[in-house]
Amino acid sequence: MVAILRGDGHPAGTVLAAEAAEIQGVNDRVQLAQAQRACNGRLLEAWMLAGATITDPSSTWIDMDVTLAPDAEIRPGTHLEGRTDIGPGARIGPDCLLRDTSVGQDATVLYTVSESAEIGPGASVGPYARLRPGTRIGPGAHIGTHVELKNAVVGRGAKVPHLSYVGDADIGEHSNIGAATIFANYDGMAKHRTTVGPHVFTGSDTVLVAPVTIGDGAYTAAGSVITEDVPPGALGVARGRQHNSAGWVERQRPGTGSAAAAARAREAAEPGTGGSAPTGGDKGHEGDKGHEGAEGVEGKQAR
């Protein structure tokens, strides 16, 4: 290029580069990776000088449009992409991927993948959570282990602690979503929305079949498939009653370890009689009052 310029009568001079990386050539994938590393290092250094803490710059990657507030802490293995914004005092990582996500002041995000989501001040997310587009998590809310949210709004102080899918939903403040609760939002043709009021408690393994509304302060019993609205303050129960078939294992699985264990337990329950221990097959189902009390106990969340 210099020879062509001089041959055409143009002057050619020199300029001293501030850093060698600024004029590094990119002619193959190796040099491209080197240039990316140099650019990333420059961005990380600038944010650390501005007051953010980056624990391990060698394993942290951020894009040009990412913003970090003073006293934000970025832990190892974290990737911040797009227009992600991290608030003051927030702790991100280790091992997070946040894209176009805003994180409020003093929030914590651990082992999480998030895209186009909002995490409110003081909220906690993870480990192993996935936030999909349209998710908004309110101040002080908690999203726990192996929880996925899509187009969901979680109110102030609400909790979705473990093993749940929340799609197209509004969850009121201070509600508790029990382990393995599923918001069944798709009927095969269209998506539908679920509304959960404030101070609601869903029992473990509840399925909420949208569109459905769980009223303020209501409960659902564990294992229920809720297809109708639950009024405020009510207990929603939607499941078959348990029946115990006495002696089934010894009759149908003779010679197994299970059959032997059952026999020992039966003999211990009634020593010397050779009879069967009480089974309680339908016990406790005679009265509505007793049934409702049992449902209340069975609706407790697994913690």
Report whether 177 contacts 162 (CB < 8 A): no
CB 204 within 8 A of CB 229: no
Residue 199 annotated among the catalytic residues of the structure: no
Answer whether 99's CB lies under 8 Å from 118's CB. no
DSSP string, 35-79: HHHHHHHHHHHHHHHTT-EES-GGG-EE-TT-EE-TT-EE-TT-E
What sign does the dihedral 195-134-181-225 (CA atoms) show? positive
DSSP 188-220: SS-B--EEE-TT-EEPTT-EEESSEEE-TT-EE
From 10, 79, 146, 162, active-site residue: 162
Residues designated as active site = 162
